[in-house]
Chain A
Amino acid sequence: MGTSAHQLEAAPAPFRTRVPLAFTLLFPAFLLLAAVLGYPVLYSIYLSFVNAQLTRPNDQTLAGLSNYAALLDDPLFGQALAITLVITVGAVAVSFVLGLSFALLVDGLKGRLAGIRGLLLAPWVTPAIVVGFLFLYMFDQQAGVINLVLEAFGATDGRTAWLSDSTLSVVAVTVATIWTQTPFYLLMFAAALTAIPTEQRESMLIDGANRWNEFVHLTVPYLRNVMVVATLLMFIRNFNAFPIIWTMTQGGPVYSTSTLVVYVYRVAFQQFDFGYASAVGVVWLAVLLVLALAYVRFLRRTSLA
């Protein structure tokens, strides 16, 4: 990372190495994170090695790796990890493409039409809990607008039970997730697009570059860093996406939308096994760290090539 189009033109100015300054500038961010998340994360890592079941208050002993062993032994855990990856990749990929397309579509709009960008951001102001209820309602078998509209166009015979089908339910929760997340990409890409110097675009046009060339050779290099960061962050955050799935399907039917966060919720708040839930958290952290590092490394390597 760290190479963007304009830096290729001139020799970059040298970076400044000043530790006290860096310390000062980073201090507020890290103090805040340490105060709120530092202790809970460390405490949870500790708990993952303890028998910490609420319903056995007199049995809170060190458990070694037994929580982790139980985890490997539970087929539902692997299933939850797999479905999490499917929904996350699906939601991130589609929202990314939609967000980028929307950003490019509205990029040139001026004056009154510029407000369209604001309207496209609107889904984002709807809290996830409301999105869950809204899409639960829209996907309803009998009264849901999706089935009613499909029926009006004669597209189906019979009303589909979206949320009671093991495949369609995954599609339904992913669609709801995409709907709320697309504005995030739109916003970030729209902001990044404004950084492309106008005269560069103009010179491309004079050269007679066609649209696709302009997109590949001018727009993509400028957006590249933001694209990387946006996909990485949203990938991580989607692991924690709970209210939409919980409202729409409670992880069902059967376990078809039981993502890791649903799994953790059940372990922690329905079975009250905090040690085991923490162990899931630690594995989750490890999975995401490995994926994130691999992703960043992969991109750095391909950008050098």
Chain B
Amino acid sequence: MAESALKPASRVTHRLVILGTVVAIVIAACGGTTATTPPDESAPPGPTSGPPSEAPSGPVTLRWMNWATTDENIRPWVEDVVAHFEEQNPDIKIESEPVPVSEHLNQLVTRCSAGDCPDIAQVQQNDIFVLQAAGLIAPLQGYDDEFVDSLPDGTVNLASVDGTLYGVTWITAPIGFWYNKELMADAGLDPNTPPTTIDEMMSMIRTVRDQNPDIIGLGIDTTLRDIGVDATWPFMHAFGAQPIKDGKANANTPEMQAFLQWIRDLVANGDTLPGKKFGDFRQSAAQNLQLFFEDGPYMKGLVQGLDSTLTDELFYERWGVTAIPGGAGNGPSAGSSDHQIAIFESSTAKEAAFRFAKYLASDVYAIKTYTAPYGLLPPLAGFEGEVPQLANPASQAFIEMGDVVLVPPYGPQYATSTLPIMANIQRTYSTQDAIETIAIDMHAALERVYGK
């Protein structure tokens, strides 16, 4: 039955199948090419070399990867800010590429690995240190040094590697300590004296929860995220615990053990909910079931979004904010959280990119339209006169907190160290392991990252 020769008719059909497949794939590929031109082909080939200050002739398009435009409530504000910039700078077009905040760094890396970096990107926390080590972002000296010198040291340090600036701070939003004045007053506490030490805080939580056990005492981030460490750092600081010190592992200390024991007790007593992002506690805050929690200045708008009856007046009656309580050796502190604009080495329009970054950070229109309404702070002080939204108790408290913001030891290795820190914190409440063992293991894991 085995026929080796094909019938003529079926031979034709064979060729048709093969031809059809090839054509389909070629069409798919060509169809793509006409729809999107890769940026390196659309850029004029001539004037790409030369000093960065030399602007190419004709309008340039800046591809801007960001997560600011992913929130549908906020996107119109950012678009308004961008439109205003394009009006003032007709030679520059901004093409926004929204990415989810949780995915932004890996999308950035994927694209850059293929040589397809955007021109500029919104970055945060440790990003600058990773991107700088990878040689992907450009130093920002020589564009507008006068502006750079005017920036406060705090934000400059967060965006500098070995003294060289790699990012323009767009907004700053420290993580502070929100306290519920209503619940404090209900329990007979003075609503205007928030705790300044962990001990004071714990005794207040006891008082309130003894009367109403449904109240959640403290909102603290215990997720396995990089930002979890940034948010937990001030609490560790209160105990004098510092898992990484002078570029070495430093987790096997009595201070760290005291901190870990505190977390274990906190969860065991039901004073907090384990495994939550700090933002998750806004839900119980909106229901007025949250006594204390750590969160940024944007908390106000978000909680008002959850409970539309909460007017500004009612909000400030209920909520106050201050620095996160200190402890034995250390005073109160705040968590770091800045968003910067980084400019990529591969960009052919770095000067235009810098202009946009400077505009976002320091233009009154940008601050009035996006930064202040969102509850964020501009990196530079002194806008209160022109931007009345900044003159509210919460923003003022956060501006004061600027001096006590703690910066974790950012760097290329930091990305690898956050997981063992947070995983061992989770171990305190999800296992029965001895606190001492947990501290020893955290130390050993960090030694794998930083060396002995």
Answer yes or no: A and B touching, Cβ < 8 Å.
yes
- Taking beta carbons and an 8 Å cutoff, which residues of A are in contact with B? 14, 16-18, 20-21, 24-25, 27-28, 31-32, 35, 54-58, 141-143, 161, 163-166, 249-256, 266, 268-272, 274
Q: Choose from A28, A55, A250 the contact partner of B21 (Cβ within 8 Å).
A: A28
B284 neighbours in A (Cβ, 8 Å):
142
Q: Choose from B14, B415, B423, B430 the contact partner of A20 (Cβ within 8 Å).
A: B14
User: Contact at A250–B2, with CB atoms within 8 Å?
Assistant: no
Given A27-B21, A269-B109: A164 and B275 interface contact (C-beta under 8 Å): yes
Q: How far is the CA of A251 from the CA of B430 in the complex (A)?
A: 13
Q: Does B314 contact A (CB under 8 A)?
A: no
User: Contact at B134–A254, with CB atoms within 8 Å?
Assistant: no
User: Contact at B426–A272, with CB atoms within 8 Å?
Assistant: no
User: Contact at B226–A270, with CB atoms within 8 Å?
Assistant: yes
User: Contact at A55–B412, with CB atoms within 8 Å?
Assistant: yes
A249 neighbours in B (Cβ, 8 Å):
275
Q: Does B283 contact A (CB under 8 A)?
A: yes
- A-B contacts, 10 of them at CB < 8 A, read A24-B17, A31-B21, A161-B273, A164-B274, A166-B431, A250-B225, A253-B426, A254-B423, A256-B430, A270-B418
User: Contact at A55–B130, with CB atoms within 8 Å?
Assistant: yes
- Leading 10 A-B pairs by shortest Cβ distance: A269-B106, A253-B430, A55-B133, A164-B274, A55-B412, A164-B275, A24-B14, A253-B426, A28-B21, A250-B224
Give the shortest distance, in Å, between A212 (CB) and chain B (any CB).
41
Q: Does B416 contact A (CB under 8 A)?
A: yes
Q: How far is the CA of A252 from the CA of B422 in the complex (A)?
A: 10
B109 neighbours in A (Cβ, 8 Å):
54, 269, 272
User: Contact at B275–A161, with CB atoms within 8 Å?
Assistant: yes
B125 neighbours in A (Cβ, 8 Å):
none
| B residues 84-105 in Cβ contact with A at 8 Å | 105
User: Contact at B426–A18, with CB atoms within 8 Å?
Assistant: no
B415 neighbours in A (Cβ, 8 Å):
270-272
Q: Which residue of B lies closest to A252 (CB)?
A: B224
User: Contact at A164–B223, with CB atoms within 8 Å?
Assistant: no
Q: How far is the CA of A56 from the CA of B411 in the complex (A)?
A: 13
Question: Which of A16, A55, A251 is most buried by chain B, counting CB atoms within 10 A of its CB?
Answer: A55
Interface of chain A, main secondary structure? loop
Give the shortest distance, in Å, between A273 (CB) and chain B (any CB).
9
Q: Which residue of A lies closest to B134 (CB)?
A: A54
Q: How far is the CA of A66 from the CA of B427 in the complex (A)?
A: 31
Q: How far is the CA of A56 from the CA of B133 in the complex (A)?
A: 7
A20 neighbours in B (Cβ, 8 Å):
6, 14
Q: Which residue of A lies closest to B2 (CB)?
A: A17
User: Contact at A27–B18, with CB atoms within 8 Å?
Assistant: yes
Q: Does B311 contact A (CB under 8 A)?
A: no
Q: Which residue of A lies closest to B426 (CB)?
A: A253
B4 neighbours in A (Cβ, 8 Å):
18
Q: Does B316 contact A (CB under 8 A)?
A: no
Q: Choose from A17, A21, A27, A252 the contact partner of B275 (Cβ within 8 Å).
A: A252
Q: How far is the CA of A111 from the CA of B224 in the complex (A)?
A: 51
User: Contact at B430–A164, with CB atoms within 8 Å?
Assistant: yes
Given A57-B135, A142-B284, A164-B275: A250 and B6 interface contact (C-beta under 8 Å): no
User: Contact at A142–B133, with CB atoms within 8 Å?
Assistant: no
User: Contact at A24–B18, with CB atoms within 8 Å?
Assistant: yes
Q: Does B419 contact A (CB under 8 A)?
A: yes
| B residues 396-452 in Cβ contact with A at 8 Å | 412, 415-416, 418-419, 422-424, 426-427, 429-431
A256 neighbours in B (Cβ, 8 Å):
430
Q: How far is the CA of A288 from the CA of B6 in the complex (A)?
A: 39
Q: Which residue of A lies closest to B103 (CB)?
A: A269
Q: How far is the CA of A194 from the CA of B198 in the complex (A)?
A: 67
Give the shortest distance, in Å, between A3 (CB) and chain B (any CB).
20
Q: How far is the CA of A253 from the CA of B426 in the complex (A)?
A: 6
User: Contact at A254–B426, with CB atoms within 8 Å?
Assistant: yes
User: Contact at A164–B423, with CB atoms within 8 Å?
Assistant: no
User: Contact at B130–A252, with CB atoms within 8 Å?
Assistant: no
Q: Choose from B17, B113, B423 the contact partner of A252 (Cβ within 8 Å).
A: B423
User: Contact at A18–B275, with CB atoms within 8 Å?
Assistant: no
Q: How far is the CA of A141 from the CA of B21 in the complex (A)?
A: 53
Q: Does B3 contact A (CB under 8 A)?
A: yes
User: Contact at A57–B17, with CB atoms within 8 Å?
Assistant: no
A269 neighbours in B (Cβ, 8 Å):
105-106, 109
Q: How far is the CA of A269 from the CA of B415 in the complex (A)?
A: 10
User: Contact at B18–A55, with CB atoms within 8 Å?
Assistant: no
Q: How far is the CA of A98 from the CA of B419 in the complex (A)?
A: 36
Q: How far is the CA of A72 from the CA of B398 in the complex (A)?
A: 48
Give the shortest distance, in Å, between B264 (CB) and chain A (any CB).
12
A57 neighbours in B (Cβ, 8 Å):
133-135
Q: How far is the CA of A141 from the CA of B216 in the complex (A)?
A: 12
Q: How far is the CA of A35 from the CA of B267 in the complex (A)?
A: 52
Give the shortest distance, in Å, between B138 (CB) and chain A (any CB).
14
User: Contact at B423–A250, with CB atoms within 8 Å?
Assistant: no
User: Contact at B274–A14, with CB atoms within 8 Å?
Assistant: no
A266 neighbours in B (Cβ, 8 Å):
419
Give the shortest distance, in Å, between A259 (CB) and chain B (any CB).
14
B381 neighbours in A (Cβ, 8 Å):
none
User: Contact at A21–B6, with CB atoms within 8 Å?
Assistant: yes
Q: How far is the CA of A294 from the CA of B283 in the complex (A)?
A: 50
B429 neighbours in A (Cβ, 8 Å):
164, 253
B1 neighbours in A (Cβ, 8 Å):
14, 16
Question: Which of A16, A141, A164 is most buried by chain B, counting CB atoms within 10 A of its CB?
Answer: A164
A163 neighbours in B (Cβ, 8 Å):
275
Question: Which of B105, B223, B225, B423 is most buried by chain A, counting CB atoms within 10 A of its CB?
Answer: B423
Q: Does B35 contact A (CB under 8 A)?
A: no
Q: Which residue of A lies closest to B275 (CB)?
A: A164
Task: Map CB proximity to A onto B344-380 as digits: 1 under 8 Å, 0 otherwise.
Answer: 0000000000000000000000000000000000000
User: Contact at B135–A251, with CB atoms within 8 Å?
Assistant: no
Q: How far is the CA of A54 from the CA of B130 in the complex (A)?
A: 8
Beyond A16-B2, A255-B423, list 5 extra A-B contacts (CB 8 Å): A55-B133, A252-B430, A253-B427, A254-B424, A269-B106
